[in-house]
Every structure is written in C-alpha cells, then in structure tokens.
C-alpha cells in the first residue's frame, strides 16, 4: 500500500566493507546475522529500551541482586554512575488515559524545593499587590473595542506598558482585530504584549505575521514588536474548563490538543542587565500548569502573574476581543484594566484611572530583599 | 418587597442580559431567569400581570409589539427591545417608600449588619467559585434542549478516535511503570531513618544508603504509625532519599541539577537518591503486563479495526537499528529511500554553548528533504528564536504545519525545571517540536497521543525517547523512520540515523547499502 515499506522487504545479509570519503576510515555493513551481537553498537544505543523491557537489574532494586539483562542484546552501561529508573508517561497515557502532565510533582507549588525562589515569589506578589490600582473592567461589545481604544488614546491620552490580548477560548477571531489594534500608539516607547491563542491559531498567526512584513498594510504595529518568548499553559485533564478539545476536524488532528500558547512580544530597547527598574528576568518560567487552585476564568491567574513578575509597569491592560461564556467568567484583577464584552465589573473611567495612577506611579518599586533574591544576569 | 418591586428590580438588574442573546428579549426565558434568581415565588401569570402594571405606570420596558396577556397563552409573545433602568429604579424607590415603616426599618437593620464593601470582600466575591455552572447555561433559556444537543454533538468523541485509541492500546507494549510517592511526611520519615542509620554505621559520608535497611528500620518503629505506613509505601512506590554530605547545607534547598550535577560531592545543595520499591519486580513484571506484552504482536495481526493500517504491515519484521556517519549537508539523500516519519534536531546557530557544529539556516533550508518523503510526517526541534525559521523551513520543504509538541522538562524528582536562568527573559521549562505533514497520508493512526511530553532531562541537547514511542504509534512500528543529526544514543530498531557524530555506519537494508556503496564509489 505504501512505498514506505517496499525496501524493508529486501533485508540483505551481505557484508561489505568500503572506504569512507571522510577521514578514510572503514565502514562495515553488518548483515542481519551480525546485528544481534551489536559488537559495533554505540555504548548506550538501545540500552534503555531493552534494559527497561526486561525489567532487568540496571536499576537498584532493593533486596535483589543485579543480574544481567533478560535480552541477549542487553549491554551493561559503561559508566559506573547508577542509572535511575524512568517512567514512560506517554506509554502510560496510552494504557491508562492519565495525562503525562498529571504526574508532574510541583504542579501545586511550582518552586517547591527552592526556598529562595519561594521567598522571592511571595515578596513579588506582596510588592505588586501594594502598588496595584483597583480592579477595573470596561464592558464593550467586540465590534466597539477598536473605537474605544482609539478614543482612550486620542481623547484621554491613556497608555499601557503591559497589554495582554486574548483568552483561553478558541472563540476568538483574533487576527482581524490584531491588524486593527492601535497597539503602537497604545504602548509607550518600551512595552510588552502577551497574545494568547490555540495551537492552530498560533501557527496561522505566525504565518500571517510573516506575510505582514512584506505587505505593509497588514498589522503595521507588529513590525515594531519582536516575539521574545512563547509561553504555554497546560490544563489538568479533559474535564478542565481550559481543556482545548479538538479544535481541528477531530479526524484530522494528529495528536490530542492539550495546551494554549502565548507570545510575549517586546517593543523598544530593554536590557536585562541594566533595566532592572523596568523588568525582572528569569523569575517565572515559560510554562504554567493548571492545578487544583486554578479557578475557571477567561485567563488563569498564573498568567497574569507571569506578566506582573516580569514587567514592573503598573499600567496593565487586558483586551478580550470575544465573548467567553459563562464557563469562563472574566474576573477583574487588581492592577489591570480589562476590556471585554463579558467582564464582571463595568467601572472604568479614564479620568479616575489617571488620577489613581498619578498617585501610584508607573512602576512598582523594588525592595532590597527582592534585588538580593532575584536571578540576575552577569554584568 | 412587593411582587411589583421584585419584578421591576429584576428587569433593572438584568436589563443587559435580557435584551441580548441568548435570551434576546424572550419573555419566557426572562421568566426562567427570574425564577432562578428571585427568592419570591411569583407565578407566570402574576409575572405578566406585574409587567402590565409596570407598563401602566412607566414605559420602562419596550416591546416589539403590544403585550397581550390573553395571546400569551398561545405562545405569541412580544420580545423585549429595550429596558430603561432609570425609570425602573425610580419606580422601585417610589413604591418602597409607600410600603410600611417596618419594612424600611428592617432594611435599615440589614444595611447595618452587612459587610462594608472593601476591596477584600469584593475580591472574595469575584473569586468565589459559585459562578454559574455549565448546566445553568442550558437551563436558563428555552433553547435548552437544542443547546444541550449541540454541546453533546461537539464534545462526544468520534467512534473512529475511540477505536484507534483502543487499537493502539492493544498493540503497544506496557512499559514498566511505578508510581512516585508524593507524601511529604513519608519523605521526612525516610530522611530521619536514613540519618539515624548512617550515624549508627558511623559512616556519615557514605553517598548511598541501602533502602532495605531504611525500610527495616521504619518497620521496626511500631510505636509510630507514620513509620510503619512509610515502610508499607516503600513496597509499592518510588521515594527519594536526600543525600547528606559533609558539605551539604539543607537550608539552601535542592540543587538545580540534582542527579546531573557534576560536583555532587562538593555541592552544598541537596541531592537525592531514588529508592525503588521493594516489590519493583512484581509491579513491572505482573502477570497482566506480561500477558499484554505477549499478545501485542497478535493483536496487530488480528485487529478488527484496520483503518489507517498498512496492508500486511504486521507480517514485516521490524528493522534493526541502522546508522550512517556522514556530513548531512553533502549526503545524497536519494540513496536513502522513502520514509514515513523524519525527526530532525539541528543544532541551531543560537546555541552558542553547545560545542557541536552549528547548522546555519540557509544550509538547513537547502537540504533535499523532498527526496525523502512522498507523503508523511516530519518532526523538527526548534528553539525560541528559530520557531519562525522552523516554520519557514518546513513550508520550504513542502510541509504544512500540523501540530506542535511541547516537551516539558522535568528533573530527577519529576518536578519541572524552574531555576538556572535557562532563557533570556523567562526561564525555559519546555522545548518545542514542530510537526509538519506532507501529502495526505491515510495510513496514520491519529490522535492516540497528547501534544505534551513529560520527560526528565539527560545530557545537554539529548531529547526524550518518549518521542520515538509517539511516532511509532503514529506511523507504525514497522514503517521506515529517519533521524537526521542523530547521535549514537539515538540509534534504535526501526530507525535509520544519520549525522556526523555517529560512530561508523551500519546498514542492514540491502538496497540502501548497495546504493551507499555506489555513492561512495562515485565520490
């Protein structure tokens, strides 16, 4: 049926030796008979595979002496360092339907085992909370979002340093909106944009944006931003409100979708060694896992935290350009203005916001202890 | 509150929800919502009567046609077009003022006892988990049956998916699996037992402890139920024993590298030793597992569900591992034949620390990958910067983006890697693998694996072996598979590995060997 199998019929037993072009060393073609010895096999090749299947003594089993492998081609590792037993969580998934990510042991406390980092996370959270404006929501229909932003820019002179776009819902036609958003005017000289999308959308997005560099009419703002990191969020299991489900035609999907992607884009010049008043690098990782404390919402709280821990800016805006439904309530968050047709709160007033920010300042100040604890790049 | 006020207040509070979709001004649905939200028992007829009453006093509620209660019994109801909240509010206030003094007093008492609206209370309210559940979405409107049916239709897994998952389960060997204990108290008990043990042996510097001794000690402490419980747990689950050297300072926490740390003897951070359960052999070698693994090949031969299966594939033996040491840039790919799956892990030019020769983007682009597949899948490891380049390279080679796999990197303790400035702006706990598809391969077994791999890190740039299992389930164990830029540890049965860091060459397929010899003769 497929040409991929035609060659495998011709299993040869020929042995041949030829001179190689590179280096002139001799290559040996082992016939089928010789392969069993694997005398020319690389030291570790296939070791794990066969060793594990035989449940052999490569691993320290209490109460049992190590014996050599059950398979004839098993070879003891050359190194004396003990080989620890490893579970194959993908294989486990095939047999038990328990997702591999549910075996991750720091799901509940991401930095457990690292007391310094734990302390830093706590301090950052307190510091961010102390310098946060009250939660603002602005309830706007999807087709009025661009007009609203334009009016904020031209009438009220509002600017935001951190802008998050999108939510963990596939119900968003994000590209038409992205191309219309006046992000270059909404962001000051240095700014950070987080864009959320599904695996399919993120692939489409990168293709469209790649084209936008040639087509000047499309997405003019994006040329000023550069994509700097890609975050992912992985839901707990299939019952999670964040489970992305089959976004493709299910018959066509090669793999089960289990993750959401987020681009972190930066505009302007920031250096991680000198601009510590603007950014704190390497605090969070590019991976967020849902755990038992995650509430159902449009965007889980971890993801706001990544932005808050990274940028010290206090002016933060979240644009959700679509309805998210009752399963994904848009919960207001201190320190953020949330623009969405479904946000729980509708209290945004540009003047009040400007007054509040005048008191807060545009950046969260750092403390001595945070400076001491946070990961720093060599000067 | 009188019924009139309740109804008026309801329309005031829910004005936006009532006029917009999915309720869309339907009176019947509005009543459904009213019943759910209001404590007062008001019948449908009196609900309508109260609305009429409101309309007599104000024109706060606008309908698209006249409201006629008699017609309402036959389902001919007008839809609400708009609601004037100010009028309704004034109406409620005026009506309440007329009501008896006692009611006002009662309201006053309530107001005093209610909590002041602080940010804290507000956030509590926001984060309460009693947001409407999915059932309510359907039960709030008269379209509930339809909505439920649509939702069922969208979320029910396809039979083909369930069948192929089941087939994959039957033909895939069960790899040894042992649970890892996640109980902090157990870890603590093992730690103290181990310290006691090493003190007794007067060899505080011994690197490894005998798990059996620890277990025996724990079992001996019959007075402490936790110790006995831990000893029993050690029969079945993996535990981690903290290793204390003279230089170790437990206050500092875990080492970022753990078992891959190069100076474990002098490192001041904590390292761990994996303790396999005593019944390890029984767990991984249980009868059921052995039975399943014996039957795997038969299951492939006698499967009832053969969608996506290559005819006769089950009778072809799996190819042994093959590899060719070569500079991939100059190898004539036409000698290799065609492959069902290709994996490539180029050392992209960004990796400045890796000693490997880097592949430059144009070099990679110019590889004649089109010679290797007529139809099939390709897996390309990318790093942050090269995500876009990777997509361009794939489309240049003639592939459509099909998916993206994330490898979540874990450490010895199966925790995600979160330290060590592993990225430029954020730390990196995962790596990306782009999946491209060419042609329309009908022989793929789709959807049996997830997009996410969880596997612990090994040597620098060594990728997880779980990927091979995933690909073998997708394209079949016996189809030809190619790895480009492979190392010695990548060679494995069913795969041909090419790269310049392999030791020698080893070709089993006669035709490939012949063509390779010819090619070498020419060159």
> pTM of the full predicted structure?
0.80
What's the confidence (pLDDT) of residue B359? 59
What's the average model confidence in pLDDT over A69-98?
Answer: 69
> B391: helix, coil or strand?
helix
State the pLDDT confidence band at A36, using cuts at 50, 70 and 90: very low
Say which range, A22-36, A258-272, B194-208, has the weakest mean pLDDT: A22-36
Contact B25, B15 (CB under 8 A): no
Specify whether the CB–CB gap between A261 and A232 falls below 8 A: yes
Domains and their CATH numbers in chain A: 115-246+257-373 (3.40.50.150)
Tell me the average pLDDT of chain A. Answer: 77
Closest CA to A157 of A350, A315, A348: A350
Interface of B with A in 78-137 (CB under 8 A): 119, 122-123, 126-127, 129, 131-132, 134, 136-137
H/E stretch holding B12: helix B3-13
Phi, psi (deg, nearest 5) at residue A251: -65, -25
The tokens describing A201, both together, are: 């959308």
Structure tokens at A330: 């848009």
* Cβ-contact B285, B463 below 8 angstroms: no
Q: Do B480 and A7 touch (CB under 8 A)?
A: yes
pLDDT above 70: percentage of residues in chain B: 84
DSSP string for residues in A64-129: S-----SSTT----SS-SPPPP---HHHHHHHH---GGGG-TTSSSTTTT-HHHHHHHHHHHHHHH
| The two structure tokens encoding residue B278 | 């005593």
| pLDDT at residue A31 is higher than 70 | no
Contact B510 A10 (CB under 8 A): yes
Reduced to 3 states (helix: H, G, I; strand: E, B; else coil), residue B97 is helix
Phi, psi values for residue B432, rounded to 5°:
-105, 145
With cut-offs at 50, 70 and 90, classify the pLDDT of residue B312: low
Rounded to whole angstroms, the Cα distance separating B210 from B275 reads 9
Tokens 């509940």 belong to A108
Angle between helices B85-98 and B3-13 (to 10 degrees): 150
CB A302 within 8 A of CB A288: yes
**Per-residue CA distances from B350 to A284, A286, B359, B464 (Å):** 22, 18, 10, 21
> Does the beta carbon of B315 lie under 8 angstroms from any beta carbon of chain A?
no
B509·A10 Cβ contact <8 A: yes
Q: How far is B43 from chain A (nearest CA, A)?
A: 27
CB A307 within 8 A of CB A279: no
Provide the sign of the torsion angle of the four alpha carbons B258, B264, B270, B273, taken in this order.
Answer: positive
Q: Could you read off the pLDDT of B234-283 as tens digits, one per residue?
A: 999 999 988 887 888 888 899 988 888 888 788 899 999 899 998 898 98
Domain boundaries, chain B: 7-100, 184-282, 304-521
Mean pLDDT on A179-185: 85
Counting Cβ atoms within 10 Å, is residue B411 exposed (0-12), middle (13-18) or buried (19+)? buried
Contact check, Cβ <8 Å, B254/A114: yes
Residues β-bridged to residue A19 = A26
Per-residue confidence (pLDDT) for residue B1, from 0 to 100: 66
**Better pLDDT: B20 or A186:** A186
Residue A216 CB partners (closer than 8 Å, separation 6+): none
The shortest C-alpha distance from B68 to chain A (Å) reads: 33
Q: H/E element holding A18?
A: strand A16-19
Largest CA distance in chain A: 84
Nearest by CB: A113 against B253, B278, B453:
B253
Q: Which of A97, A254, A295 to mutate to test the interface with B (most CBs of B within 10 A)?
A: A254
Please give the distance of CA A63 from its chain centroid, rounded to a whole number.
Answer: 43
- The answer to whether residues A115 and B190 touch, using CB atoms and an 8 Å cutoff, is no
| Predicted confidence band of residue B492 (pLDDT cuts 50, 70, 90) | very high
Chain B from 353 to 372: CB within 8 A of any A CB:
none
Write out the H or E segment, with its range, that includes residue B403.
strand B400-410
| pLDDT, tens digit (0-9, with 9 covering 90-100), for A238-250 | 888 888 876 556 6
The superfamily CATH assigns to domain B304-521 is Vaccinia Virus protein VP39 (3.40.50.150)
Yes or no: say if B404 and B377 are a contact pair by the CB < 8 Å rule.
no
pLDDT at A64 over 50: no
Nearest to A341 by CA among A359, A318, A360, A371: A318
- Among the ranges given (A173-182, A301-310, B232-241), the one the predictor scored with the smallest mean pLDDT: A173-182
Peptide bond into B265 cis (omega under 30): no
Q: Count contacts between A and B (CB, < 8 Å).
A: 400
Residue A234's DSSP bridge partners are A289
Pairing of strands A162-165, A225-234: unpaired
Which chain A residues have a beta carbon less than 8 Å from that of B438?
none
Predicted pLDDT of residue B309: 66
Q: What confidence score (pLDDT) does residue B88 get?
A: 87
pLDDT tens string B415-472:
999 987 788 899 999 999 999 999 998 888 888 899 999 999 988 889 999 999 999 9
* B187–A contact, CB cutoff 8 A: no
Number of residues that make up chain A: 379
Is any Cβ of chain A less than 8 angstroms from the Cβ of B265? no
Of B489 and B94, the one with more pLDDT: B489
* pLDDT score for A68: 36
Exposed, middle or buried by CB within 10 Å (0-12, 13-18, 19+), for A323?
Answer: buried
Residue B12 CA to residue B9 CA, distance in Å, equals 5
* Chain A interface mutation, best of B382, B439, B449, highest count of A Cβ atoms under 10 Å: B449
CA atoms within 13 A on the CB side of B5: 12
- Pick from B276, B437, B508: which is nearest to A32 by CB? B508
Measured CA to CA in angstroms, residue B395 lies from B360, B436, B466 at distances of 17, 8, 26
Nearest CA in chain A to B413: A105
Asked whether the beta carbons of residue A86 and residue B455 sit closer than 8 angstroms, the reply is: yes
Instruction: Please check whether residue B402 is in contact with residue A254, taking contact to mean a CB–CB distance below 8 angstroms.
Output: yes
How far, in Å, CA of B273 to CA of B254, rounded? 12
Q: What's the mean pLDDT in A133-155?
A: 93
User: What is the rounded CA–CA span in Å between residue A30 and residue A13?
Assistant: 8
Tell if the CB–CB gap between B275 and A5 is shorter than 8 Å.
Answer: no
Question: pLDDT band at B112, cuts 50/70/90?
Answer: very low
* Residue B307 scores a pLDDT above 50: yes
Q: What is the pLDDT of residues A358-376, one digit of tens each?
A: 999 999 999 999 999 999 8
Q: Which helix (H) or strand (E) holds A153?
A: helix A145-154
Q: Give A-chain residues touching B493 at CB under 8 angstroms.
A: 46, 49
Query: What integer is the mean pLDDT of A212-239?
Result: 78
- How far, in Å, CA of B449 to CA of A87, rounded? 16
Contact: A259, B479; criterion CB under 8 Å: no
Q: Do B513 and A261 touch (CB under 8 A)?
A: no
Flag whether residue B296 sits within 8 Å of chain A, measured between CB atoms: no
**Beta strands A260-267; A191-198: pairing state:** antiparallel
Helix (H) or strand (E) holding A266: strand A260-267
Q: Quick one: CA torsion of A281, A284, A286, A289, rounded to 10 degrees?
A: -170
* Phi–psi pair at B369, nearest 5 degrees: -60, -25
Residues of A in contact with B429 (CB under 8 A): 285-287
Residues A172, A198: Cα–Cα separation, whole Å? 10
User: B391, A22: Cβ pair inside 8 Å?
Assistant: no
Q: Given phi > 0 = left and psi -120 to 50 = alpha, else beta, which region is B417? A: beta
Report chain A residues whose CB lies below 8 A from the CB of B212.
Answer: 62-63
| Of the listed ranges A76-90, A130-144, A256-270, the one predicted with least confidence | A76-90
**CB of A274 within 8 A of CB of A280?**
no
What is the mean predicted confidence (pLDDT) over A104-111?
Answer: 91
Q: What is the dihedral of CA A231, A236, A238, A241, to 10 degrees?
A: -80
Residue B173 has pLDDT above 70, yes or no: yes
């Amino acid at each position: 049926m497929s040409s991929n199998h035609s060659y495998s019929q011709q299993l040869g037993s020929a042995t041949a030796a030829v001179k190689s072009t590179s280096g002139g060393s001799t290559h040996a073609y082992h016939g089928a008979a010789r392969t069993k010895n694997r005398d020319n096999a690389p030291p570790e090749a296939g070791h794990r595979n066969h060793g594990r299947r035989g449940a052999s003594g490569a691993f320290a089993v209490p109460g049992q002496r190590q014996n050599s492998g059950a398979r004839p081609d098993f070879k003891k590792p050359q190194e004396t360092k003990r080989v620890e037993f490893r579970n194959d969580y993908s294989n486990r998934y095939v047999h038990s339907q328990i997702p591999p990510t549910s075996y991750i042991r720091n799901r509940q406390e991401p930095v457990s085992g690292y007391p310094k980092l734990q302390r830093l996370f706590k301090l950052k959270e307190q510091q961010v909370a102390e310098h946060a404006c009250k939660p603002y929501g602005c309830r706007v229909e999807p087709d009025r979002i661009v007009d609203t932003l334009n009016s904020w820019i031209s009438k009220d002179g509002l600017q935001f340093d951190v802008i998050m776009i999108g939510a963990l819902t596939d119900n968003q036609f994000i590209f038409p909106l992205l191309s219309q958003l006046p992000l270059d005017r909404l962001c000051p000289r240095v700014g950070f944009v987080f864009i959320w999308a599904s695996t399919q959308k993120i692939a489409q997005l990168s293709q469209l944006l790649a084209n936008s560099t040639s087509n000047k009419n499309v997405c003019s703002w994006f040329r000023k931003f550069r994509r700097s990191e890609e975050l992912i969020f992985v839901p707990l299991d299939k019952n999670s409100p964040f489970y992305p489900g089959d976004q493709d035609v299910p018959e066509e999907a090669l793999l089960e979708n289990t993750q959401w992607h987020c681009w972190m884009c930066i505009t302007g010049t920031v250096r991680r060694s000198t601009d510590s008043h603007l950014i704190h690098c390497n605090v969070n990782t590019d991976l967020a896992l849902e755990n038992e404390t995650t509430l159902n919402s449009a965007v889980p709280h971890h993801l706001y935290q990544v932005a808050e821990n990274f940028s010290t800016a206090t002016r933060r805006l979240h644009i959700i350009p679509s309805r998210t439904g009752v399963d994904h309530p848009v919960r207001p968050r201190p320190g953020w203005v949330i623009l969405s047709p479904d946000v729980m709160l509708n209290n945004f007033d540009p003047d009040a916001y400007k007054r509040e920010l005048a008191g807060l300042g545009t950046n969260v100040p750092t403390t001595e202890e945070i400076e001491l604890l946070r990961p720093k790049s060599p000067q | 509150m009188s019924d009139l006020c309740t109804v008026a207040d309801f329309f005031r509070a829910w004005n936006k929800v009532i006029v917009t979709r999915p309720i869309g001004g339907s009176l019947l649905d509005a009543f459904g919502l009213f019943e759910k939200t209001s404590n007062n028992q008001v019948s449908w007829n009196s609900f309508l009567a109260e609305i009429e009453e409101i309309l007599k006093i104000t024109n706060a509620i606008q309908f698209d046609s006249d409201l006629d209660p008699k017609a309402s019994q036959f389902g001919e109801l007008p839809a609400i077009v708009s609601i004037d909240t100010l009028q309704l509010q004034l109406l409620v206030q005026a009506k309440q003022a007329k009501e008896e003094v006692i009611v006002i007093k009662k309201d006053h008492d309530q107001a005093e006892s209610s909590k002041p609206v602080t940010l804290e209370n507000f956030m509590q309210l926001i984060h309460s988990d009693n947001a409407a559940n999915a059932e309510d979405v359907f039960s709030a409107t008269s379209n509930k049956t339809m909505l439920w049916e649509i939702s069922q239709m969208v979320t029910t897994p396809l039979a083909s998916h369930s069948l192929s998952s089941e087939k994959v389960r039957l033909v895939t060997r069960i790899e040894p699996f042992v649970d890892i204990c996640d109980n902090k108290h157990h870890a603590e008990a093992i730690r103290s037992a181990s310290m006691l043990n090493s003190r007794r042996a007067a060899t505080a510097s011994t690197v490894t402890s005998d798990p059996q001794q620890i277990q025996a000690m724990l079992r001996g402490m019959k007075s402490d139920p936790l110790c006995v419980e831990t000893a029993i747990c050690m029969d079945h689950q993996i535990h981690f024993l903290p290793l204390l050297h003279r230089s170790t300072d437990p206050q500092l926490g875990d080492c970022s590298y753990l078992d891959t740390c190069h100076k474990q003897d002098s490192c001041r951070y904590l390292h761990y030793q994996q303790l396999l359960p005593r019944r390890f052999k029984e767990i991984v070698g249980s009868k059921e597992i052995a039975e399943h693994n014996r039957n795997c090949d038969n299951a492939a031969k006698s499967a009832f569900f053969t969608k996506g299966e290559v005819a006769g594939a089950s009778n072809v033996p799996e190819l042994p591992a093959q590899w060719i040491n070569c500079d991939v840039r100059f190898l004539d790919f036409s000698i290799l034949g065609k492959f069902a799956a290709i994996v490539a892990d180029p050392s992209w030019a960004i990796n400045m620390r890796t000693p490997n020769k880097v592949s430059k983007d144009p070099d990679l682009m110019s590889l004649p990958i089109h010679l290797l597949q007529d139809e099939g899948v390709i897996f390309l490891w990318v790093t942050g910067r090269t995500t876009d380049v990777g997509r361009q390279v794939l489309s240049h080679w003639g592939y459509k983006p099909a998916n993206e796999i994330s490898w979540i990197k874990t450490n010895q303790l199966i925790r995600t890697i979160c330290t060590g400035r592993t990225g430029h702006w954020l730390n990196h706990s995962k790596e990306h693998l782009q999946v491209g598809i060419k042609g329309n391969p009908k022989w793929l077994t789709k959807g049996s694996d997830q997009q996410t791999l969880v596997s612990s890190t090994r040597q620098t740039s060594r990728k997880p072996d779980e990927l091979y299992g995933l690909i073998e389930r997708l394209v079949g164990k016996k189809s030809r598979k190619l790895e480009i830029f492979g190392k010695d540890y990548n060679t494995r049965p069913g795969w041909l590995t090419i790269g310049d860091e392999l030791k020698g060459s080893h070709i089993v397929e006669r035709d490939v060997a012949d063509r390779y010899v010819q090619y070498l003769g020419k060159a």
